[in-house]
Each structure stands twice: as structure tokens, then as C-alpha cells.
Structure 1
Amino acid sequence: MDIGSSLVDTCPGNLQGISGYLFISLINSLVQSKCKLGSREAYNEDYSSQIRDGDEFDFIVIGSGSAGSVVANKLSENDKWKVLVLEAGGYPSAVSDIPALLFYLQGTDEDWQYKTEPSKTSCLGFKNEQCSWPRGKVFGGSSVLNGMLYIKGNKRDYDHWAELGNTDWDWENVKQHFKKLENMQEENVSDQYGREGLMKLSRVHADEPFVESLREAFTYLGYRNLQEEDPTNPLGTLEGFQCIDDGIRYNTAKAFLGKVKERPNLFTSLHSFVNKILIDPATKTAIGVEVKIGEKILKVKANKEIILSAGSINSPQILMLSGIGPKEHLENLNIKVFKDLPVGYNLEDHMLNIGTLVTFAPEAFNLKNNQDELYKYFMYQKGDLASVGILNFWNFFNTKNDSQYPNVQNHLVAFPLNDENFVEYVFSSFGEKEHILKSRVHAVKGRPSVVISNTLLNPKSKGRITLKSNDPQDKPLINSGYFTDENGEDLQTFLEAIRFVENLLETPPMKKFDPQIVKVDLPDCDQYEYRSDDYWRCSLRHLASTTYHPTGTCKMGPAGDKTAVVDPELRVHGIKNLRVADASIMPKIVSANTHAPAMMIGHKAGIMIKERWLNEKIEL
């Protein structure tokens, strides 16, 4: 269809001569500006059509996400090594480049579209009692779908990893790996951030009356304003940094692979679905992969190592399909067992309570013209579309006041006045049932609103990833484990966090905007008095979902740890030349968003692998 033929000039003849020329110049500028979005020039050439059965590489990296891209970057620095990256998805779309449209990627071809298994304890307010767990099936992995938020976590997180026997994973060691990743664009920040790395970091300030009042409200409750992250004493409010470059998402495929795409020893193969890792049964050595590219199934060899960086769902799936995992589970599926390991266990996620939607008086937010915002973005990559709104405005607090470290983090999404469509889209992306969605949309008419989501940082509940069958095309089964901890601590901490938010809304800086908590339609909870403890517990079982941070399913631990899958050098226990490098190796989930820690894991893995094969210590 010729779109131009459908355009109608509603005022013909009013632009002649120079005025017409200027108008056409404006249109041309806008058309040209969209070429910055979704450009394949930012990425490596797709090598998939050139791979042949039996091809050999020194290293094969499975997955191009937050960790995998960094691993491949570090290994390909040695021009004597051939490095192949296998990615199940294709190039990122233009939509993915626009920061404000992050929710619009869920449920698309760039998403694995995972769902949790139904549970009696959680996700009851979502369709089929299943929570959606978006994961990136695209070049750049989940860094193409995420909120672009960059935060490292707490000193205590990494020191605890080391205390569990994971040598050199304490804060003093890992902080140097973070710094090597970073290309800080802001001027007035401390030297804890690097300025020579490949991941560009910036910060967009949300210029809204609500944000300033929210900062004052936290101060009123005794929380300090952090100018930047403080891993040693993180309680307080913080406008975090983002992986955004001049108004465009900066995913890891761009930063760590596209920036070095001229390296002749780096090969990236897209739409390449790994069925399993090939193991030599005599030596228990990983020797290659079986990969489906188009309609062909090929075997590709790795002369040195295979690094599995497919994420906390796909990495355990691939290991189990390869015969590495719980013996009884694999035998039940007729999979030959090479190593009996607790793969898929120890699943942790940051639960997110999306039940606290609050409306405010119109003056809490500046009125915007949508057409102006579109123009600013497509012309200059500025304005609301160039940021994540107030999603990077966090408060870290401790509901028990028993530590200098937080147990809850706030994530905030603002909905402008009279934008019910955005409200409906965001909550439908979580998979909410229709009657709940309708009650939200009805409640926000005529008032701007904010979902003040509490994120549980240190969950006690654990889940598990298992295989549905021995068919690689079958999606694995995700048992989230939400609210299954024996003593009900997760539910109690969430309840305390809701009370914290209620107190926050009662502070003078917030009261002036007339905050009203929306009562969503939860018939199962109507048996309880509204806003009673029992009501909120019921609400949590319905409306707590994911912060998109699954971790721990290929747990790191020393040889004596029977719950571990990989050792502190990320080598799979009992299998030679095979490592896992992504968020699945976390022995305990970090107390912050997981994108930056996953990149750090990738960088540290790359250094350790290089040290092994070069037989020398690398100074950072």
C-alpha cells in the first residue's frame, strides 16, 4: 500500500514558494531522524548463513545479553582466538530504541514470552493465574527489553557471596569490574564510576512537581537524598543512572559487540537456537554445540571453551537438555545424564507489588502536549520519550529499621492526566485479568496517577526451573515459588512496605496533592476490611509479580557446596571447558536491579577465561 496516497492535504494552496520549501524541509528532517532508530549499522553482521556443520571456533558464547555480550567482547580482544556468539533472536526493533516504550516490547517476537506455572499462593490476579516473565529473545538479550537502569547493589551482597566460599567475589574485587564497564557521561559524579568503558551511562531528571515533593516526603520520614549510589550505606532516595545514549536505548549488543564489529575474529550468528551442548562422555568435556539455524541442525565445535550466557531460564534449560542437572528429573525425560547437579534450583526473583496505584491532583504533574513530545523526540531525541519517566527515581528503605541496608526498593511508573490507554497497556503487559484492568482505568479518569511499586530485595522464597520435555522447543516450566517461604516472611515484609507507602502519602509534601489509593476490583479480597492486614495480604497474592530479575538457577559455590552448579571461576562442576556466566550464577540475589551485576559477571568471566588460556594474571 502506498501510504502517501492516503494522505490528504486539508489546506491546499496555503504554502507556496519559500514557505512550502520550509515545510517540506521540516518533513524531510523528521523522516531522516527516524533512521537513527533500529539501525543495523550499530550491530555486527549476521554470520548465520555462513556457518557450516563441523565448523570450529576457539570459544562459543551462547547468548548475547547483559553478560554474554561482555564475555564475547573480552575474549575477542585476543585476535588469535575465534569467538562465535549464538543468539536465538534477531536484530532489535526501532521500538526498542525508544526508552519510554519499554513496556511495548513485552509479548512481541523480541520476548521469549514466558509464563509461570499456576500457583495457589501467587499471581492470582493474572490471566490463568500465571505471571508473565518477559526475557529478551533478541540480539542484546534482556538489555533490549529492560528498564535501562544501572545500579550495582550493596557491598554486603558481594561480601556475602565471598563468605559462602566464592573467593574474589567480595565487593573490593567486583567493584573494579563494574568500573571497567562504565563510560559515565555525567560530569559531577565520584570516581567510583569509570569513564573509559563501553557502556554509556547518563541520567535524566524528571522535572515534575510530584518528584520534588516525593523527595521532600522521604526526607520528612528520615531518609537522605543520595546524589549517587552508595554501596556501603544505600538507604535513601536516588535518581539512578540509565543505559541511554543521547535519548536512545544503549543495549549490550550495541555497546560491547557493535562497537568492536570490525574485529575479524568475532562472529555473531542470529536466529541460532541452541538445542544442547555436546559432551564427550569419556572425558566429560564440552566439545561443541548442536544449534538450529533456519531448518538446519548443525554441530559446531569449540576448541577451548563454551560459555553459557543464556540467562536464568534458558541457561538451566540448555544444561539439562545437555545431560547436566538433577539425575532423577533428566532420567524421567529420557535424557542421558553426564553430571548430576542441582540445575534449576535456587531460583530467586525480586517480587514487585503492582497493587498500589495512587491518583493525585492534576497539579502534581506538568501538562504535556503529546504532539510536542513526539516532535522533540523524533527531531532531537529529547523529551519524555527519551527517558523512563520517574522509573529511575528510587527509594531504598528498611521496613524493620534493623540495618543500614534496605530490604525494599520503590519502583515508580507515572501515568499522565487523561492517558487511560497507557494505564491499560502497562498493567495488561503484566497479564492482569480484564476486570482488574477495567477498575484501574475507571479509577484514573480525570487525575494523573502513579503506581508506587514495592520491590522485595531479599526474598526468602525460592522457585525452580524444570524441563517440560526433552524437546528443546518446549518452553521450560517456571515455578516462581512466590510466597512459599515457610514462615511467611516475604508476605510480612511486603505488608510493612505497604504501610510505609501509606505513611508516605500522609506526609505534608504528599498530602497537598490529595493522594487517593485506588481500590482495584479483587472480589476474592472483598471478604476482608479494605486496607486491613488481611486485605493487603490477599491483594499481594493477587498482584505481586516480577521485577524481571530471575537469578540463581546455576548457583555458584565451591566444590563442597552440594547446592552449587558452578565453582567460583564459573566452571560447571565435573564438566571440563564449560562455564556459565550470567545472573543464574548468583548464589543470592543482589539488593538492586540485576542488569549492571550481570554485566559485571560477564566482565569477570571474560578476565578469568583469558587468564586461564594465557597463563597470566591480568591487572584491571
Structure 2
Amino acid sequence: MLADGTISRTDNEFINKDVLRYVKIIEDGIANSLIYFQHENAYEFQDGRCDYDDCPPINYGYFDFIIVGSGASGSVIANRLTEVEHFNVLLLDAGHFEDEFIKIPGLMSYSAGTDYNWGIKSVPQRNACLAMEENRCQLFRGRGIGGSTIVSPLIYARPLPSDFAKWNALASGWSYQDVLPYFIKAENFSNSASILSKNIGRDGPLWVEVPNYTTPHIDAFLKSNLELGFPEININNLTDITDTNIQGVSRVQINTQNGRRLSVGSAYITPIIHRKNLNISVDNYATKVIFSHGKSNKKHAVGVEFFKNNQKHIAMARKEVILSSGTISTPQLLIQSGIGPKNDLIKLEIDQIVDSPHVGKNYQTHVAIFGLSIETNTSVNILSLEDNVKLYLGGKGVLTMGGNRGAIGNYTIPNKQHKTTLINTQHNNYDLEFIFLTPNRTAGFYQSGYSFKPEEFKALTNNLTNQNTFSIFISPRYPKSIGGVRVTSKNKFDFPSVNPNLLSDENNFDIEAIYQGILLLKKMLNTKAMRHLNAKFKRIILPDCKFKLFSKEYWYCFIRQTSNELFHPVGTNKMASGSNPQNGVVDEQFKVNGVHGLRVADASIIPFSMTGHSAATCVMIGERCADFIKNDYY
């Protein structure tokens, strides 16, 4: 740049080279994602020269702490523990660090077709995902430093304070007052997401921004809410800790830094990668926790068995092992290590360490309707890829939006017909979240990314004009359907069997909640703001939904066909008060009940589905777990 502030020819040449480099990165990344063959197992890690038990192990060394999984909790724990110089930490992860393609938020959908996604699918469903191949839901799970935050839409949204009141009733010491300091410690709200509140953080590693991009459709959605009496709120400005219900609409707040994806790995691990007491091992697969006899006849976790470069390795822990592999992989690892339901261990011929009946049970997640398209008479200006890249490199434009998410609405609709006694939630009203997706989204990837059947995908996208059509995900905030994770194979490299059991609650509460959301959306489309765009439901005739268009029967069928889960599975190693494994898998300080020296810290310990998006809670979990550990050893 010249002294007068103008850009010199040399600067222009450099900028153009950078733009062209990113254009190639994007073109190659999209092309590769469309032909990517998703994983069906983890056989790539095993040693084909020997049976598992006969493979001779390689000694990987001794460490104070071993963390298995560098996701939204594990990355935080590794950072905070290595603040103590005499703590020596090993961080294990099956993936690797992000590349420049995966760091572009607007290309989130394509991340499913990369090695950063485990590619796990559910078992065939009876009540949801019926438009997907084999009726199996795609379960996007991140694989790499940062976990699922490297493939997620990056929305940062804390749960309501009332959710923690319920958590605190199940596990004491988990009220909103208890956890709030850890949210604040992690957060770094930028000026774009500025909140005048003492209850948000401004100095933490995890940036929170509002994307520097809007469309007439986002603006109309915000205005339509105002017309219906739903105010514009800030989803993370919950100053009243007794508030049980927040209704309103907000621009999304996401974890980006100047428009680029800021995964928890990028926020917590990349800046400290050169710490001498942090040992990071990527591209390995943990298969078992190693135990020895400890005090009071309890076994003590002393190490981890894992495969790296197709060879078995053993790393030993002087103090503790912390499992942070997520709601699907952590219960699998516990069961393979001898901690799980007694009958399952017997069937798998695994020596029992602890009969822990709740391991793998209580799978809860937010379900959402996909494919709900709204046509308008207003088109966004579709820029060339080169122009979009120029905006992205300046922290602006559609590529800075996490999966094209533009706004969030939270609503409570009175329930006049359903009552429930299910213990997973005390909420009987229809508490809903709307996620607004702008036009110009990556709809072309949905068939391969979500495995839609060809006929269903054709119906969903027939005559769809991407420039003037927006979409809305409708999701119950307190779903009542419960699934589970089971280990069904003796081969430790097979994926577990995951049954989210979506839309399966006996009273049809979850599907009715989504239907009530569609009726609310219908009211929004009738507001002045939306009528100005001539916004209306796209006429979609799915092959298995031969009902009167837009009737209740049609919508129920449409919901069951196109619903899938979001990125928020929790509960498979639920926390409960006390140390009895018959009550919960972990205690209030993440310690696995029935053994010494082992903790679980990830989304699997969250006892039930809450409001908000789980990444924020997982970061808080990591911060809090690290403090508990420091208090025990430092």
C-alpha cells in the first residue's frame, strides 16, 4: 500500500493471486466433496497383519493426563491444563488440523463430503428421515482438531438459565450461577455482536460475530416477527437468570474471526501448539482405556490403547484419562473398555469393569424439518465465485455465513391438547426454534450430503430457483423422543449402532410441535413484510405424500419424510448426583462412577436436550472440567 493509502500494483497482484488461489481451493474442494465416499467404519486404522488382541503394542510414553478427542470440550481442557507448566498432556484425535477449504463457513454443507466428517449414519428410522436412502439419518460428526465445530454451522447460542435450574436438580452445583463464569471466560464478543451486559465475555479465545452479510429476505423475516409481536432480541443476552422463556428473533451469532471459521480447535489449540508440555497426536483411533487395581477395590484408569499408522500403541497416564470423543464415540469407548450395561458386555465378551446401565442410553437431540422452501419474487444478486472470494477475504459476503444461516427465532406456542409425564422434560408447550437459511445456499449438495433418495430429491428441488427461495428449519427445543447408542460388533473398528429414534414419542408431541411451527410460519408469510416479497410455500409433492397440498396430513407426511437431526446430540453418558453408576455415568465433577482416574467431558454428559446450540455448552464443560482437575492436582 502506498503512503496515500491507495493500493499499489504489487499489492493488487498479491490480492489477485490470493483470490485465484482460493477460487481453486473452492472449486477443487466442491468437486472432491461430490464424489467423496463416506466412511462406513474405522478399518483404515486397524493393523491388518494381526488380530486385535495379538497385535504387539508400541509404548507411546507416560503423561500426566491423556485426553481422547479434541472437540469442543477436549480442546479447551488441553489448553487450560497445559497452562500449568508441570502438567504433561497428551491430546489424541482421529483427524487432523483444518485446511483452508473447511475454514470457509459458507461451504459448511460440503464438509460432509470430506475426511473431516466421520460419515456415521443412523439405523433405519420408522418415523423420520424417510426421504433418505434406507431411511437412515445422516449424523454429521466432526473428525479433527476442533471436533464437530469444524463441520457445524458455528451458531453460538447458550441455553436458557431455566435449563440449568433443571440440570442443577439432577446434579447439584450446575445452576446458571455456577456455569455463567465459564461461558464468560470462553467468550470474545466482537463489536458486530456487541452486547451491553456484564454477563457476556470479551476477553476469551472464542470469538462471536454477526456475519457481515444480509438479504431482503433476512430483513423481511425480522420485520415479520415484529409484526406478530415477537421482538428482536439478543440470544446470548440473558441478564435475568430466572427467566424461563425468551421469545423473539435475532440475527445469528457465530464463531468466526473476521469472517473465517473459528472452530474450538482454532481458538484453543492452534495458538498454543508450541507449548512444550502439550503433545498432540493426530490420525489415530482410540480403542480402549487401560485399567489397574486401585483403592477400595475400584479399578484405576492408567492409560489408553490406540492405533496409529496401523499399529497398536499404548500411552500411560500418571494422573487421569479424560474422554471427550462425543455423544456417539465416548459411550462406544467406555463399553469397549468394560464400562457399560452388564448384558451388553456379556454379549460382546468384554470383561466387566463397571456395570453402568446408562452408558449409551438417553440419546436426545434436536430434530428439524429440512426441505421447507419459501418462494419469493425477490432475488439475491448471485456474484461470481471470484467476487465472492474477494468479499470473503475482506470478512464480508455470503461465504462468511455458517451454512447460510441468517437468523434465529425462538417461540412458545400454547399446547391445548398434549400432556406428557416423560421425565426428560417438564415442558408441555411447543417450544420452537426457527433457523432461517438465506437464498444462494448450497442446495445442490443436499442429495449427496443428506443422502436423499433420487425421487424425493427431485421433488424437493424441482423448479427451485436458488436466488429467490429461502428455507427455514423448524425444531422443537425440548424434544421428547429418546434414542440410544449400542456397540453391536466385537470388532472395535466398527461404528456403533446409533438410533436417534426421531419423532417416535408415543403422543406425537415432537411432530405436532413442528406442525405448529409450520402454522406459525404461515402467519409470518401473511405479514406485510413477507407479502411485500410475495413469499409463499413452494408446492412440493413428495412421492409418498399423496395428500391434499398443505393439509395437516400432508405436513405430517412431509415432516416424517424430510426431518433429520441437527448437530446437537447429548445424554449418552448422563451426569447425575452422587457416585452410584445406577443413577448416572458421571458425577458432578465428570468422574466416571465406579472407577478412579477417568472422566468424561463432552456433550454426552448433558442430561437432556436444552435450548441453544450445544457447542456453547460443550466449551463451558471443557472450561469447568479443567478447573475441577486443577483443583484436584494443583
Does TM, scored on the shorter chain, surpass 0.5? yes
- Write the letter of the residue equivalent to 2:204: G
- Aligned pair partner of 1:588 in 608, 611, 620: 608
- Aligned pair partner of 1:173 in 178, 202, 220: 178
Provide the rounded CA distance (Å) in 2 between the counterparts of 1:21 and 1:579: 54
**Contact 1:291 1:298 survives alignment (8 Å):** yes
**Contact 2:408 2:433 survives alignment (8 Å):** yes
Provide the rounded CA distance (Å) in 2 between the counterparts of 1:406 and 1:168: 29
**Displacement after TM superposition at 1:20 (Å):** 9.4
- Aligned pair partner of 1:382 in 396, 407, 414: 396
Aligned residue for 2:559?
540
Q: Does 1:436 find its partner at 2:456?
A: yes
Q: Does 1:324 find its partner at 2:339?
A: yes
**Displacement after TM superposition at 1:212 (Å):** 1.7
1:138-537 to 2 correspondence within 5 Å?
138-164=144-170, 166-186=171-191, 188-189=194-195, 190-231=197-238, 232=243, 233-281=245-293, 283-341=298-356, 342-362=358-378, 365-371=379-385, 373-377=387-391, 379-388=393-402, 391-400=405-414, 407-416=431-440, 422-426=442-446, 428-445=448-465, 448-526=468-546, 528-537=547-556
Provide the rounded CA distance (Å) in 2 between the counterparts of 1:202 and 1:226: 15
**Contact 2:430 2:513 survives alignment (8 Å):** no
User: Which 5+ residue runs of structure 2 have no aligned equivalent?
Assistant: 1-7, 27-56, 417-426
Provide the rounded CA distance (Å) in 1 between the counterparts of 2:199 and 2:251: 16
Provide the rounded CA distance (Å) in 1 between the counterparts of 2:20 and 2:381: 27
Provide the rounded CA distance (Å) in 2 between the counterparts of 1:567 and 1:107: 37
Provide the rounded CA distance (Å) in 1 between the counterparts of 2:227 and 2:524: 9
- Aligned pair partner of 1:568 in 580, 588, 606: 588
Q: 1:25 to 1:159 in 2, by over 3 A?
A: closer
Provide the rounded CA distance (Å) in 2 between the counterparts of 1:512 and 1:22: 44
**Contact 2:373 2:471 survives alignment (8 Å):** yes
Q: Which moved more, 1:21-30 or 1:241-250?
A: 21-30
Provide the rounded CA distance (Å) in 2 between the counterparts of 1:21 and 1:481: 58
Q: 1:59 to 1:98 in 2, by over 3 A?
A: same
User: Which 5+ residue runs of structure 1 have no aligned equivalent?
Assistant: 1-18, 38-50, 615-620
Q: Which moved more, 1:76-85 or 1:209-218?
A: 209-218
**Contact 1:234 1:406 survives alignment (8 Å):** no
Give the paired residue count: 576
**Contact 1:201 1:244 survives alignment (8 Å):** yes
Same amino acid, percent of matched pairs? 27
Report the secondary structure of 1:203's partner residue: coil
**Contact 2:187 2:204 survives alignment (8 Å):** yes
**Contact 2:108 2:403 survives alignment (8 Å):** no
- Write the letter of the residue equivalent to 1:183: N
**Displacement after TM superposition at 1:594 (Å):** 0.7
**Contact 2:569 2:604 survives alignment (8 Å):** yes
Q: Which moved more, 1:69-78 or 1:256-265?
A: 256-265
Q: 1:404 to 1:607 in 2, by over 3 A?
A: farther
TM-score norm. by structure 1 comes to: 0.88
- Write the letter of the residue equivalent to 1:529: K
Provide the rounded CA distance (Å) in 1 between the counterparts of 2:177 and 2:283: 39
Q: 1:261 to 1:502 in 2, by over 3 A?
A: same
TM-score norm. by structure 2 comes to: 0.86
Report the secondary structure of 2:67's partner residue: strand
**Contact 2:437 2:472 survives alignment (8 Å):** yes
**Displacement after TM superposition at 1:542 (Å):** 1.0
Provide the rounded CA distance (Å) in 2 between the counterparts of 1:524 and 1:575: 51
**Displacement after TM superposition at 1:241 (Å):** 1.8
Any idea what the Cα deviations from partners look like across 1:402-461, whole Å, max 9, x if unmatched? 989971101122233xx8xx3221354222111122223223138611111101110111
Any idea what the Cα deviations from partners look like across 1:326-366, whole Å, max 9, x if unmatched? 1101210111111111200000010011142111112xx43
Q: 1:280 to 1:482 in 2, by over 3 A?
A: same
Provide the rounded CA distance (Å) in 2 between the counterparts of 1:30 and 1:426: 27
Report the secondary structure of 1:525's partner residue: coil
1:63-212 to 2 correspondence within 5 Å?
63-164=69-170, 166-186=171-191, 188-189=194-195, 190-212=197-219
**Displacement after TM superposition at 1:230 (Å):** 3.8
**Displacement after TM superposition at 1:305 (Å):** 0.5
Quote the RMSD (CA, aligned, Å).
2.5
Q: 1:404 to 1:554 in 2, by over 3 A?
A: closer
- Write the letter of the residue equivalent to 1:171: Y
Q: 1:121 to 1:52 in 2, by over 3 A?
A: same
Provide the rounded CA distance (Å) in 2 between the counterparts of 1:523 and 1:35: 39
Report the secondary structure of 2:438's partner residue: strand
Provide the rounded CA distance (Å) in 2 between the counterparts of 1:604 and 1:396: 28
Q: 1:298 to 1:23 in 2, by over 3 A?
A: closer
**Contact 1:373 1:383 survives alignment (8 Å):** no
Provide the rounded CA distance (Å) in 1 between the counterparts of 2:402 and 2:95: 25
Report the secondary structure of 2:149's partner residue: helix
Q: 1:538 to 1:31 in 2, by over 3 A?
A: closer
Provide the rounded CA distance (Å) in 2 between the counterparts of 1:531 and 1:33: 43
Provide the rounded CA distance (Å) in 2 between the counterparts of 1:415 and 1:581: 37
**Contact 2:283 2:308 survives alignment (8 Å):** yes
Q: 1:292 to 1:205 in 2, by over 3 A?
A: same
